[in-house]
Chains A and B, each alone.
Chain A
Amino acid sequence: MSQAVQKKVVDSRGSFCPGPLTDLFKAYRSARPGDLIEVWATDPAAKSDITAWASKTGNQLVSVEDDEGYTRITVKVTNKKA
Protein backbone atom coordinates (compact mmCIF):
# COMPACT_ATOMS: atom_id res chain seq x y z
CA MET A 1 0.00 0.00 0.00
CA SER A 2 1.47 3.37 -0.97
CA GLN A 3 1.89 6.00 1.70
CA ALA A 4 0.31 9.43 1.32
CA VAL A 5 2.41 12.23 -0.16
CA GLN A 6 3.55 14.60 2.56
CA LYS A 7 4.35 18.27 2.54
CA LYS A 8 6.94 19.49 4.97
CA VAL A 9 7.39 23.17 5.74
CA VAL A 10 10.93 24.19 6.69
CA ASP A 11 11.16 27.60 8.34
CA SER A 12 14.67 28.97 7.75
CA ARG A 13 13.75 32.61 8.11
CA GLY A 14 16.48 34.65 9.78
CA SER A 15 19.11 32.10 8.88
CA PHE A 16 22.04 33.12 6.68
CA CYS A 17 23.39 31.09 3.79
CA PRO A 18 23.77 28.12 3.96
CA GLY A 19 21.10 27.74 6.68
CA PRO A 20 18.15 27.26 4.27
CA LEU A 21 20.08 24.65 2.25
CA THR A 22 21.16 22.84 5.39
CA ASP A 23 17.55 22.71 6.55
CA LEU A 24 16.46 21.47 3.12
CA PHE A 25 19.05 18.65 3.27
CA LYS A 26 17.70 17.58 6.63
CA ALA A 27 14.12 17.44 5.36
CA TYR A 28 15.24 15.68 2.15
CA ARG A 29 16.92 12.88 4.11
CA SER A 30 13.63 11.75 5.61
CA ALA A 31 11.47 12.53 2.54
CA ARG A 32 10.00 9.95 0.19
CA PRO A 33 9.55 10.21 -3.58
CA GLY A 34 6.61 12.46 -4.31
CA ASP A 35 6.87 14.46 -1.08
CA LEU A 36 6.89 18.25 -1.18
CA ILE A 37 9.33 20.37 0.81
CA GLU A 38 8.53 24.06 1.22
CA VAL A 39 11.43 26.19 2.45
CA TRP A 40 10.77 29.63 3.95
CA ALA A 41 13.84 31.84 3.70
CA THR A 42 14.84 35.44 4.16
CA ASP A 43 18.35 34.87 2.82
CA PRO A 44 18.37 36.08 -0.82
CA ALA A 45 20.85 33.33 -1.81
CA ALA A 46 18.29 30.65 -0.97
CA LYS A 47 16.41 31.08 -4.27
CA SER A 48 19.41 30.46 -6.50
CA ASP A 49 20.90 27.79 -4.23
CA ILE A 50 17.74 25.70 -4.01
CA THR A 51 16.98 26.17 -7.71
CA ALA A 52 20.48 24.92 -8.55
CA TRP A 53 20.14 22.05 -6.06
CA ALA A 54 16.90 20.88 -7.68
CA SER A 55 18.37 21.10 -11.16
CA LYS A 56 21.58 19.26 -10.24
CA THR A 57 19.98 16.48 -8.21
CA GLY A 58 17.12 15.90 -10.64
CA ASN A 59 14.41 16.91 -8.20
CA GLN A 60 11.66 19.28 -9.25
CA LEU A 61 11.40 22.94 -8.41
CA VAL A 62 7.65 23.51 -8.06
CA SER A 63 7.39 27.19 -7.16
CA VAL A 64 9.20 30.26 -5.87
CA GLU A 65 6.86 32.76 -4.25
CA ASP A 66 7.71 36.02 -2.56
CA ASP A 67 5.66 36.71 0.56
CA GLU A 68 5.92 39.57 3.05
CA GLY A 69 9.64 39.76 3.78
CA TYR A 70 10.47 36.19 2.87
CA THR A 71 10.39 33.69 0.03
CA ARG A 72 8.61 30.32 -0.13
CA ILE A 73 10.46 27.82 -2.29
CA THR A 74 8.75 24.49 -2.93
CA VAL A 75 10.48 21.41 -4.32
CA LYS A 76 9.08 18.00 -5.14
CA VAL A 77 11.19 14.94 -4.38
CA THR A 78 11.30 13.12 -7.70
CA ASN A 79 14.77 11.61 -7.99
CA LYS A 80 15.56 10.17 -4.61
CA LYS A 81 16.57 6.52 -4.92
CA ALA A 82 17.53 5.82 -1.35
Chain B
Amino acid sequence: MNVTRRRFLKICATGLGSSSVVALGFPVTKAQAEVRAFKLARSSETRNTCPYCSVSCGLIMHSLGDRAKNAESSIFHIEGDPDHPVNRGTLCPKGAGLVDFIHSPNRLKYPEYRAAGSDRWQRISWDEAFARVARWMKDDRDRNFLAKNAAGATVNRWLTTGFLAASASSNEAGYLTHKVIRNLGVLAFDNQARV
Protein backbone atom coordinates (compact mmCIF):
# COMPACT_ATOMS: atom_id res chain seq x y z
CA MET B 1 0.00 0.00 0.00
CA ASN B 2 1.21 3.43 -0.87
CA VAL B 3 0.66 5.72 2.06
CA THR B 4 0.44 9.40 1.28
CA ARG B 5 2.81 11.08 3.66
CA ARG B 6 1.90 14.25 5.45
CA ARG B 7 4.05 17.30 5.20
CA PHE B 8 6.71 18.09 7.78
CA LEU B 9 5.61 20.63 10.33
CA LYS B 10 7.40 23.66 11.70
CA ILE B 11 6.17 23.49 15.26
CA CYS B 12 7.45 26.76 16.58
CA ALA B 13 7.71 28.84 13.42
CA THR B 14 5.41 31.50 14.84
CA GLY B 15 7.03 31.48 18.27
CA LEU B 16 4.13 29.73 20.04
CA GLY B 17 2.09 32.97 20.02
CA SER B 18 -0.85 31.56 18.09
CA SER B 19 -0.50 27.96 19.28
CA SER B 20 -3.00 25.84 21.22
CA VAL B 21 -1.27 26.95 24.42
CA VAL B 22 -2.17 30.62 23.92
CA ALA B 23 -5.55 29.86 22.34
CA LEU B 24 -6.54 28.08 25.56
CA GLY B 25 -5.33 30.91 27.78
CA PHE B 26 -1.99 29.64 29.06
CA PRO B 27 1.23 31.68 29.18
CA VAL B 28 4.16 30.96 26.85
CA THR B 29 6.59 33.74 27.82
CA LYS B 30 8.73 31.45 29.98
CA ALA B 31 9.02 28.85 27.22
CA GLN B 32 9.91 31.55 24.68
CA ALA B 33 12.59 33.00 26.96
CA GLU B 34 13.97 29.61 28.02
CA VAL B 35 15.18 28.70 24.55
CA ARG B 36 17.79 31.47 24.63
CA ALA B 37 19.60 29.58 27.38
CA PHE B 38 20.06 26.49 25.22
CA LYS B 39 22.42 25.47 22.46
CA LEU B 40 22.19 22.49 20.18
CA ALA B 41 24.76 19.68 20.38
CA ARG B 42 25.14 17.19 17.58
CA SER B 43 26.26 13.59 17.85
CA SER B 44 26.33 10.52 15.67
CA GLU B 45 25.35 6.91 16.12
CA THR B 46 27.20 4.53 13.80
CA ARG B 47 26.93 0.77 13.27
CA ASN B 48 30.07 -1.34 13.43
CA THR B 49 31.24 -4.87 14.23
CA CYS B 50 33.08 -5.93 17.37
CA PRO B 51 36.73 -6.66 16.49
CA TYR B 52 37.38 -9.23 19.21
CA CYS B 53 36.14 -12.61 18.02
CA SER B 54 34.50 -14.43 15.17
CA VAL B 55 30.99 -14.11 16.63
CA SER B 56 31.08 -10.60 15.11
CA CYS B 57 28.57 -8.89 17.38
CA GLY B 58 26.89 -5.79 16.02
CA LEU B 59 27.71 -2.50 17.75
CA ILE B 60 26.33 1.02 17.86
CA MET B 61 29.04 3.60 18.52
CA HIS B 62 28.05 7.02 19.83
CA SER B 63 30.34 9.89 18.96
CA LEU B 64 30.42 13.64 19.32
CA GLY B 65 30.91 15.85 16.31
CA ASP B 66 29.14 15.94 12.98
CA ARG B 67 31.38 13.68 10.89
CA ALA B 68 32.90 16.71 9.14
CA LYS B 69 36.10 15.77 7.37
CA ASN B 70 38.33 18.17 9.27
CA ALA B 71 36.92 17.50 12.75
CA GLU B 72 38.07 14.58 14.84
CA SER B 73 35.06 12.79 16.27
CA SER B 74 35.28 11.36 19.73
CA ILE B 75 33.53 8.09 20.62
CA PHE B 76 31.98 8.33 24.07
CA HIS B 77 29.75 5.26 24.27
CA ILE B 78 29.43 1.82 22.66
CA GLU B 79 26.45 -0.48 23.05
CA GLY B 80 25.38 -3.76 21.49
CA ASP B 81 23.17 -3.29 18.44
CA PRO B 82 19.70 -4.42 19.58
CA ASP B 83 18.57 -4.91 15.97
CA HIS B 84 21.55 -7.12 15.06
CA PRO B 85 20.50 -10.75 14.47
CA VAL B 86 23.71 -12.20 15.96
CA ASN B 87 23.77 -10.59 19.38
CA ARG B 88 20.43 -8.72 19.75
CA GLY B 89 22.05 -5.95 21.75
CA THR B 90 24.10 -8.16 24.06
CA LEU B 91 27.89 -7.99 24.47
CA CYS B 92 30.37 -10.12 26.37
CA PRO B 93 32.51 -8.43 29.07
CA LYS B 94 35.28 -7.77 26.57
CA GLY B 95 32.87 -6.20 24.08
CA ALA B 96 31.22 -4.20 26.82
CA GLY B 97 34.60 -2.61 27.56
CA LEU B 98 35.27 -1.55 23.98
CA VAL B 99 35.10 2.17 24.61
CA ASP B 100 38.06 1.85 27.00
CA PHE B 101 39.91 -0.19 24.39
CA ILE B 102 39.50 2.70 21.93
CA HIS B 103 40.77 5.31 24.38
CA SER B 104 43.42 3.14 26.05
CA PRO B 105 46.80 4.89 26.36
CA ASN B 106 48.37 1.49 25.59
CA ARG B 107 46.47 1.01 22.36
CA LEU B 108 48.74 0.04 19.48
CA LYS B 109 48.25 2.53 16.66
CA TYR B 110 51.28 1.90 14.42
CA PRO B 111 53.85 -0.86 13.82
CA GLU B 112 56.60 -1.20 16.42
CA TYR B 113 59.71 -3.32 16.35
CA ARG B 114 61.94 -4.69 19.09
CA ALA B 115 65.31 -5.80 17.77
CA ALA B 116 66.70 -9.10 18.99
CA GLY B 117 68.52 -8.48 22.26
CA SER B 118 67.09 -4.98 22.67
CA ASP B 119 64.97 -3.94 25.67
CA ARG B 120 62.83 -1.36 23.90
CA TRP B 121 60.30 -0.98 21.11
CA GLN B 122 60.89 1.41 18.24
CA ARG B 123 58.31 2.82 15.88
CA ILE B 124 58.71 1.86 12.23
CA SER B 125 56.76 2.77 9.09
CA TRP B 126 54.12 0.48 7.57
CA ASP B 127 56.37 0.00 4.50
CA GLU B 128 59.22 -1.08 6.72
CA ALA B 129 56.94 -3.43 8.62
CA PHE B 130 55.56 -5.03 5.45
CA ALA B 131 59.08 -5.40 4.02
CA ARG B 132 60.37 -7.07 7.21
CA VAL B 133 57.43 -9.45 7.50
CA ALA B 134 57.73 -10.37 3.81
CA ARG B 135 61.46 -10.94 4.18
CA TRP B 136 61.01 -13.25 7.20
CA MET B 137 58.23 -15.15 5.50
CA LYS B 138 60.22 -15.60 2.29
CA ASP B 139 63.35 -16.78 4.12
CA ASP B 140 61.41 -19.20 6.30
CA ARG B 141 59.41 -20.57 3.38
CA ASP B 142 62.55 -21.05 1.25
CA ARG B 143 64.10 -23.06 4.08
CA ASN B 144 61.11 -25.15 5.13
CA PHE B 145 58.66 -25.51 2.23
CA LEU B 146 57.87 -29.15 1.49
CA ALA B 147 56.88 -29.92 -2.10
CA LYS B 148 56.67 -33.70 -1.58
CA ASN B 149 56.35 -35.91 1.47
CA ALA B 150 58.50 -38.95 2.31
CA ALA B 151 56.33 -41.17 0.12
CA GLY B 152 56.89 -38.89 -2.86
CA ALA B 153 53.33 -37.54 -2.98
CA THR B 154 52.95 -33.83 -3.84
CA VAL B 155 51.92 -31.92 -0.67
CA ASN B 156 53.18 -28.31 -1.24
CA ARG B 157 53.00 -27.37 2.45
CA TRP B 158 54.73 -24.87 4.69
CA LEU B 159 54.39 -25.87 8.35
CA THR B 160 56.81 -23.56 10.14
CA THR B 161 54.70 -20.37 9.85
CA GLY B 162 51.16 -19.72 11.06
CA PHE B 163 48.74 -16.91 10.27
CA LEU B 164 45.91 -15.40 12.31
CA ALA B 165 43.67 -12.82 10.58
CA ALA B 166 41.10 -10.39 11.94
CA SER B 167 37.70 -11.51 13.21
CA ALA B 168 35.69 -8.53 12.01
CA SER B 169 36.56 -9.10 8.37
CA SER B 170 34.10 -9.04 5.52
CA ASN B 171 33.53 -12.05 3.25
CA GLU B 172 35.77 -10.40 0.66
CA ALA B 173 38.66 -9.97 3.10
CA GLY B 174 38.17 -13.58 4.24
CA TYR B 175 38.30 -14.78 0.64
CA LEU B 176 41.50 -12.85 -0.09
CA THR B 177 43.16 -14.08 3.10
CA HIS B 178 42.31 -17.64 2.19
CA LYS B 179 43.65 -17.33 -1.36
CA VAL B 180 46.89 -15.60 -0.42
CA ILE B 181 47.82 -17.70 2.61
CA ARG B 182 46.71 -21.11 1.25
CA ASN B 183 48.60 -20.40 -1.98
CA LEU B 184 51.78 -20.04 0.05
CA GLY B 185 51.21 -23.51 1.49
CA VAL B 186 50.44 -22.38 5.06
CA LEU B 187 48.20 -24.86 6.88
CA ALA B 188 48.06 -23.26 10.33
CA PHE B 189 45.81 -20.26 9.88
CA ASP B 190 42.47 -18.97 11.02
CA ASN B 191 40.21 -16.16 10.00
CA GLN B 192 36.58 -15.14 9.79
CA ALA B 193 35.98 -17.24 6.66
CA ARG B 194 35.92 -20.32 8.93
CA VAL B 195 32.69 -19.05 10.47
A and B physically associate: no
